[in-house]
Structure 1
Amino acid sequence: MIRILEEFGVRDKDFDALKTVGDHLAPDPTLPFRETNGARFCLDSDQGSISRLEFQPFVLSVKEDFVRHDSGKLRRFRGIGDNLQLNKAFHALLFFKYFIIRDVYVSPRPNLDMSSAKWVSTVFPTRTITTPDVLGEPALEGVHSDGVDHTMTSLLGSHNMTDDSAETFIHDMREDNAKRWNETNPAFLRGKFQHKKFLDTVLIVDHERKHSLSPVRAVDPRLRATRDVIIFFTRKPATKGHISYPYDSFNPHLEFPLNLNIPSPPTVAPTVALADTKKVAMADA
């Protein structure tokens, strides 16, 4: 990932700044062990651009395979700031995801406009925190989907976290929602992945594979443990009947505007990595 992002002009100072994003997050509105900011972006194939969209509440429902105490509730996250929005490594992650997903067919979700040239990408830099009193859960909801076309997570860093923490398990869609990661049916397990190093990344075809995660556990249980990631949810625009339809504005963000021209994909060695990754994505789809 570092080699690929460097082809988009990312330098050491950009990577170093990205690693500190978790130090500037706000309390999550519904989870006591998490700090999270959020932002919405439009990935537009026709215009060849990525732009920031105005604030809208965020909501996921049981109908979208997301079963948790806050399913169906509107959640409002504090917006990301310039420390992330202006970071070239962050821009390159958006470009990377765009190039991977743009030509890959995925099983369509109900009430999404799959013919649109646009995607809504909702981005959540997130810190999961374990303390002597609270166990941090990257996925308290257990087995779930995220109500999107693609879910991508990239690791920014961790502190005092055990080597067996926060493992991602990939499940067949037949697996029951809300099951704990260690209570699932082995026959439905399709793979597992663990973010270990800076920018380790997984991209899931969200309507074709469910996923779950194990908790964040502390090496020294007397001290706080943290795990920082950026989550990129990407889906086609909602149509009438979708729970997010009233909150799917494509108006630009006036206070923190951003408009990026999507560059050409890398043309040297990392192009091979992009092509190989796309083959894997297509084979899995």
Structure 2
Amino acid sequence: MNPMPANSNADHAGVTPLTLGLREDGFAFVQAADMHALLAAHGRLEDWTDFVASWNELPIDNYLAAVGRQRRRRHAVYCAPSRGPITRAPHQAHFQTLNYNTLQGDIERWFEPVDAAIAEGPTLSTVLGFARDFFAPLSPQVAAWHVEVHQFRIEPSATQAGEPTPEGVHRDGVDYVLVLLVDRKNIRSGTTTIHTHDGREVGSFTLTEALDAALVDDARVFHGVTAVTPVDTDAPAHRDVLVVTFRALTA
């Protein structure tokens, strides 16, 4: 699909052409150059090198390993008011019901926390600020958001493909999702597909460059990512993404 133009010119309510595209289609693909411009308009990215390097320190997801799959991850939770500072919440479990995760639903999953230097650093703060300000005009009635941050590394090998979404095509059980590619090395495929509730595919694209991004209205569409395999089976391979989810907090 063609990427959505990331015109940052907004009307008085903060609505941009990108926002309108998400409102109309339920998803948007933003190319790296456009995403960089959007992020730079919201804050600083000077720790980007350290941010990327932090994916080298992700521990194994033991819950997934228990069912014969493999990936690495860390997790953090934030509270984001519709306006004002976004603050990190105490470390807590990640939970999805079986309705949204048929592989590992109804389980409180405790992952190692995102390192403090990354969690409080300028790059992640900028990403969170952009995402909050982007999604807010879509739900102006929401006063505050429960935000979860996931660092994921998928490592395919010569004997096993890597599965970015082992639960298959799914919804996350939140309101909005941002998927940001951080690094991609020696892999093929990893195509994101977007589906309606009846399973019809309505979009597909592949995150190939650092800062390529997908924006998803989770209530409206399902999403999945095809398995990745190494191009050179004798060399290390990985797909690193940052996933940020927003769920409205109710009074």
SS of residue in 2 equivalent to 1:62? coil
Q: Aligned match of 2:87 in 25, 48, 51? A: 51
Cα distance change on mapping 1:58 and 1:9 into 2, 3 Å: closer
Are 2:55 and 1:22 aligned?
A: yes
Q: Is the contact made by 1:132 and 1:223 (CA closer than 8 Å) also made in structure 2?
A: no
TM-score computed with the length of structure 1 as normaliser: 0.70
In structure 2, list runs of 5 or more residues that go unmatched.
1-34
SS of residue in 2 equivalent to 1:38? strand
Letter of the 1:29 counterpart: N
Q: CA deviation at 1:189?
A: 0.8
Cross-structure match for 2:236: 224
Tell me which structure has the larger Cα radius of gyration: 1
Q: Aligned match of 1:92 in 120, 126, 139? A: 126
- CA-to-partner distance for each residue in 1:240-276, whole Å, 9 max, x for gaps? xxxxxxxxxxxxxxxxxxxxxxxxxxxxxxxxxxxxx
Q: Distance in 2 between matches of 1:99 and 1:115?
A: 14
Are 2:105 and 1:71 aligned?
A: yes
TM-score computed with the length of structure 2 as normaliser: 0.79
Are 2:203 and 1:167 aligned?
A: no
Q: Is the contact made by 1:135 and 1:215 (CA closer than 8 Å) also made in structure 2?
A: yes
Q: How does 1:1-285 map to 2 (within 5 A)?
A: 1-11=35-45, 13-32=46-65, 33-45=70-82, 48-63=84-99, 65-68=100-103, 70-105=104-139, 116-162=142-188, 165-175=189-199, 188-237=200-249
- Which fold has the larger relative contact order, with Cα–Cα distance below 8 Å and residues 6 or more apart in sequence? 1
- CA-to-partner distance for each residue in 1:55-87, whole Å, 9 max, x for gaps? 221111222x3221x221110010011231132
Q: Distance in 1 between matches of 2:156 and 2:71?
A: 9
CA RMSD of aligned residues (A): 1.8
Q: Distance in 2 between matches of 1:238 and 1:8?
A: 27
SS of residue in 1 equivalent to 2:233? coil
Cross-structure match for 2:29: none
